[in-house]
Structure 1
Amino acid sequence: MSLTLAFDVYGTLIDTQGVVSQLEAWIGDRASGFSQCWREKQLEYSFRRGLMNEYKNFASCTRDALEYCCQSQAVDLSEAQKQALLACYARLPVFADVKQGLEALQAQGHHLYAFSNGTAEAVDGLLSHAGVRDYFLDIVSVDEIATFKPDPATYRHFLRRSSSKAEQSWLISSNPFDVIGARNFGLQAAWVKRSDGAVFDPWGVEPVVTVSGIPQLAAYLK
């Protein structure tokens, strides 16, 4: 049976730690910690804006989070360096398993969508640069309804845009908050555990399946 698959992008298909190499040139062995702080604050700002109903797009959250990390970690980056880091977000790499997995899922007849907190324009450019845009029927962005995952409205919006039913739709994400949000809404969901040390939030809501990469999801759904 063909399923509708909604792929989270940042952290699931795209490696947000791809900025580390650029950071290392400027701040050395502090780069990894800085990058992690940036990612965590980026997500926190999206959550807070969603709760406050004070929407600004994901690029704005990313920009504000970078400013916070520079201040909190006492890293003095020039404006040109900050702009270079933000530009890195337009050309982050996919994880090594992604193309093989997407190709297998497409061959199985599933309907693949990118479903992101990022704007459709940003995600389109990112996936195109990474060479995986053609696997997706469409890009569904929360920007279209001015809120962020895991707001239930975002999953409802996805079903509407993809003309799919909850019982036939899967959310695939490396972010536990996204998986829990989707399961809470009534979607099927797979957690992509991208590192051995990743911990799923102990909320009593579990993914249908946990996989280490996209090919393992294809094997499960075959």
Structure 2
Amino acid sequence: MPDRPILVFDVNETLLDLDSLAPVFEDIFDDPAALRDWFAQLILYSQTLTISGIDSDFPSLAAGTLRMLGQIRNIQISQAQIADLAAAIASMPAHADAASALQQLRDAGFRMVTLTNSPKGSGPTALDRSGLASFFEASFSVQPSGRFKPAPQTYRLVCDGLGVEPRDLCLVACHVWDTIGLQAMGGKGALVTHGVNAPLHVTGVPVPDLVAPTLTQLSRDIMAAWA
């Protein structure tokens, strides 16, 4: 493989445990599995707005998607429930092996940044609260581009911010649509499945350069691939 890339980590679900939101959905829908339905719709409509050229922000879209899911299931969503979801998102904990995996990569000399659909706020982010922020030299939000991942403009923000080209980056994510986004621009992709995702095998579609079930294993594979 080529010279070692700069690692660009997705945040939500990749580093932070999305399943920690399940109690919110159990309280609202009496169904913790509704979390996955909501998240799939959130990603679908973030990409729909990007393709359609309609501006929005991730928190507004998360709330709107929750209301939509409530309407589908004949449940009235209150402002308090939307606030509960927002608070839970802002305090998502790190995956149990995230800190040790990042420590290994940092000790091995890898440069690491984050790129998230979530906007930057005035206070601490979920990444800050999780204790992982210090591992990264920079944290990027897609917000300045007016688009959500996997739009090329979002990855270009990272390139411009670091003064590099897509080929110099490796997108580390739990979502294959995210790795595809950077790989389509000539970058690399590393997929951590966390037991809920998998590569997409379709002719002509780039598959991740590396695939592993945990961050621990993926960090070892990254170090082996780009020693």
Identify whether the pair has TM-score above 0.5, normalized to the shorter chain.
yes
Q: In the alignment, is residue 141 of structure 1 matched against residue 141 of structure 2?
A: yes
Aligned residue in 1 for 2:178: 178
Aligned residue in 2 for 1:216: 217
Report the alpha carbon displacement of residue 216 of structure 1 after superposing the two structures with TM. 1.7
Take 1:88 and 1:51, find their aligned partners in 2: how far apart are those partners?
29
CA distance 1:9–1:122, change in 2 (3 Å): farther
Give the counterpart letter for 1:211 in structure 2.
Answer: A
Unaligned runs of 5+ in 2: none
Moved more, 18-27 or 201-210: 18-27
- After the TM superposition, which residues 97-116 of structure 1 pair with which residues of structure 2 at under 5 Å, given as runs? 97-116=97-116
Report the alpha carbon displacement of residue 94 of structure 1 after superposing the two structures with TM. 1.4
Moved more, 183-192 or 11-20: 11-20
Take 1:3 and 1:213, find their aligned partners in 2: how far apart are those partners?
20
Aligned residue in 1 for 2:6: 4
Q: In the alignment, is residue 203 of structure 1 matched against residue 197 of structure 2?
A: no
CA distance 1:31–1:132, change in 2 (3 Å): same
Contact 1:120 1:139 in 2 (8 A): no
Report the alpha carbon displacement of residue 179 of structure 1 after superposing the two structures with TM. 0.9
CA distance 1:175–1:60, change in 2 (3 Å): same
- After the TM superposition, which residues 1-222 of structure 1 pair with which residues of structure 2 at under 5 Å, given as runs? 3-28=5-30, 30-32=31-33, 34-121=34-121, 125-195=125-195, 198-204=197-203, 205-222=206-223
**So what's the TM-score if we normalise by structure 1?**
0.91
Contact 2:67 2:77 in 1 (8 A): no
Give 1 or 2: higher helix fraction: 1
Query: 1:190 aligns to what SS in structure 2?
Result: strand
Query: 1:218 aligns to what SS in structure 2?
Result: helix
Contact 1:16 1:39 in 2 (8 A): no
**So what's the TM-score if we normalise by structure 2?**
0.89
Take 1:103 and 1:122, find their aligned partners in 2: how far apart are those partners?
27
Query: 2:125 aligns to what SS in structure 1?
Result: helix
Report the alpha carbon displacement of residue 2 of structure 1 after superposing the two structures with TM. 5.4
Unaligned runs of 5+ in 1: none
CA distance 1:166–1:78, change in 2 (3 Å): closer
Query: 2:14 aligns to what SS in structure 1?
Result: coil
Take 2:122 and 2:189, find their aligned partners in 1: how far apart are those partners?
24
Report the alpha carbon displacement of residue 125 of structure 1 after superposing the two structures with TM. 0.9
Contact 1:123 1:139 in 2 (8 A): no
CA distance 1:199–1:213, change in 2 (3 Å): closer
Query: 2:44 aligns to what SS in structure 1?
Result: helix
Query: 2:55 aligns to what SS in structure 1?
Result: coil
Take 1:218 and 1:57, find their aligned partners in 2: how far apart are those partners?
31
Report the alpha carbon displacement of residue 217 of structure 1 after superposing the two structures with TM. 2.4
Moved more, 50-59 or 113-122: 113-122
Take 1:78 and 1:6, find their aligned partners in 2: how far apart are those partners?
36
Contact 1:170 1:188 in 2 (8 A): yes
Figure out how many residues of one structure are paired with residues of the other and give that number.
219
Moved more, 209-218 or 134-143: 209-218
Give the counterpart letter for 1:5 in structure 2.
Answer: L
Contact 2:175 2:197 in 1 (8 A): no
CA distance 1:141–1:26, change in 2 (3 Å): closer
Contact 1:4 1:110 in 2 (8 A): yes
Query: 2:101 aligns to what SS in structure 1?
Result: helix
Give identity over the alignment, percent. Answer: 23
Report the alpha carbon displacement of residue 106 of structure 1 after superposing the two structures with TM. 0.9
